[in-house]
């Protein structure tokens, strides 16, 4: 846990060193505040129906106007942020808890275990993931719980693939062999040595995946498979305002802008993290190549001083 916190803090520092990363962090921080305190910040009850106030324009009392049932749009957007971002956050946490352990297991165990898990991954990857999510959610029935189950059932495969690839690369390195020789048990080896190696790429993938998950959650709610009325949710609000798009376009414009802003913010965060990590990887490779060249040159020089002859195979 301490190692995960340390790597997460380092990732935030890398993200803050990029201009678009700073922008993404700023918007993400505002969204986090809205997600946690949206109900307290809402000026009105988002569920109270006032037919005498339906489809009002913006005013001091109702800054964004009201919807077809007289409910405050701003209040529903603020409370809807809790629903939309909360569902997306639960999905990300669930796929991390499933995909990362399965990827670790497949990459480390290899053999039949790896083959079995990867056949499942390949089978789920043959069809578009959004269609599979719609099919599963439609089969289970419309509800927020079923929506989460449907998305998690498909989204974990991307995390498992990334983790498996990293583990396959890391398990051949000397420090893993040294840990095995020293008597480190498989569970401790995975937790102490291999898990920290996969956290950085998983964090980048998760940051980029949050935007996609929000789109999927909103899309399913728009189709009637997610949050149900009268629960305020951005995708459901888009569906509610569809019939009034010509007379009251703000009913669709405001939820659409909220979804777009959130997706852009998390994509900026993910791109900032990825570019910073790629730069650090390139710098490390360049340093390693330079160090290897310096070591070879130092070896040839020392050999020449001792024997007076150039080393075989390294004449310059």
Q: Out of 1.10.600.10, 1.10.3720.10, 2.120.10.30, 3.60.110.10, which CATH number does the structure's domain 2-275 have?
A: 1.10.3720.10
Torsion sign across C-alpha atoms 245, 236, 217, 122 = negative
* pLDDT, position 180: 78
Cα dist. 299→51, 227, 302 in Å? Answer: 86, 68, 5
What distance lies between CA 313 and its chain's CA centroid?
A: 50
192 versus 60: which is more confidently predicted? 60
Least confident of 110-114, 141-145, 206-210, 299-303: 299-303
* pTM (2 d.p.): 0.78
Beta bridge partners of 66: 72
- Cα separation, 136 vs 139, in Å, equals 5
- pLDDT, one tens digit per residue, over 292-314 is 444 444 445 434 544 555 555 44
The number of residues in the chain equals 316
Among 23-27, 107-111, 156-160, 185-189, whose mean pLDDT is lowest?
A: 23-27
Label residue 63 by pLDDT band (50, 70, 90).
Answer: very high
Which of 16-25, 113-122, 147-156, 199-208 is predicted with the least confidence, judged by mean pLDDT? 16-25
4 or 102, greater pLDDT: 102
**Predicted confidence band of residue 188 (pLDDT cuts 50, 70, 90):** confident
Number of C-beta neighbours around residue 95 at 10 A: 24
- Residue 92 tokens read as 């990300």
- 254-261 mean pLDDT: 92
Using a 10 angstrom Cβ sphere, with 0-12 exposed, 13-18 middle and 19 or more buried, the burial of residue 20 is: middle
Residues facing residue 72 across a β-bridge = 66
pLDDT of amino acid 37: 83
Looking from the CA of 188 toward its CB, the CA atoms found within 13 Å total 6
> What pLDDT score was predicted for residue 110?
82
Cα-based angle 43, 218, 36 (whole degrees, multiple of 5):
40
20 pLDDT higher than 80: no
CA–CA distance, 193 with 176 (Å, rounded to integer) = 7
């Amino acid at each position: 846990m301490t190692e995960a916190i340390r790597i997460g803090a380092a990732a935030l520092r890398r993200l803050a060193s990029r201009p678009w990363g700073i922008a993404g962090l700023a918007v993400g921080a505002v969204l986090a505040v809205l997600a946690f305190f949206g109900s307290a910040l809402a000026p009105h009850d988002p569920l109270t129906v006032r037919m005498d106030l339906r489809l009002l324009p913006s005013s001091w009392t109702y800054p964004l106007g009201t919807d077809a049932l007289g409910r405050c749009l701003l209040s529903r957007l603020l409370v809807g942020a809790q629903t939309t971002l909360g569902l997306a956050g639960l999905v990300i946490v669930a796929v991390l808890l499933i995909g990362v352990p399965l990827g670790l297991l497949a990459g480390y165990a290899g053999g039949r275990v790896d083959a079995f898990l990867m056949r499942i991954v390949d089978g789920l990857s043959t069809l578009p993931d959004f269609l599979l999510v719609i099919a599963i959610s439609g089969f289970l029935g419309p509800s927020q719980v079923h929506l989460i189950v449907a998305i998690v059932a498909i989204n974990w495969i991307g995390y498992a693939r990334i983790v498996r690839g990293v583990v396959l690369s890391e398990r051949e390195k000397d420090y893993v062999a040294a840990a095995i020789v020293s008597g480190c048990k498989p569970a401790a080896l995975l937790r102490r040595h291999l898990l920290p190696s996969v956290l950085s790429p998983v964090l980048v993938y998760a940051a980029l995946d949050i935007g996609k998950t929000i789109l999927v959650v909103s899309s399913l709610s728009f189709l009637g498979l997610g949050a149900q009325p009268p629960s305020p949710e951005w995708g459901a609000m888009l569906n509610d305002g569809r019939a009034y798009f010509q007379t009251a376009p703000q009913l669709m414009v405001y939820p659409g802008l909220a979804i777009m802003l959130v997706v852009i913010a998390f994509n900026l965060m993910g791109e900032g993290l990825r570019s910073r990590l790629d730069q650090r990887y390139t710098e490390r490779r360049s340093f390693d190549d330079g160090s290897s060249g310096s070591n070879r040159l130092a070896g040839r020089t020392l050999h020449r001083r001792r024997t007076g002859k150039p080393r075989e195979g390294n004449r310059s």
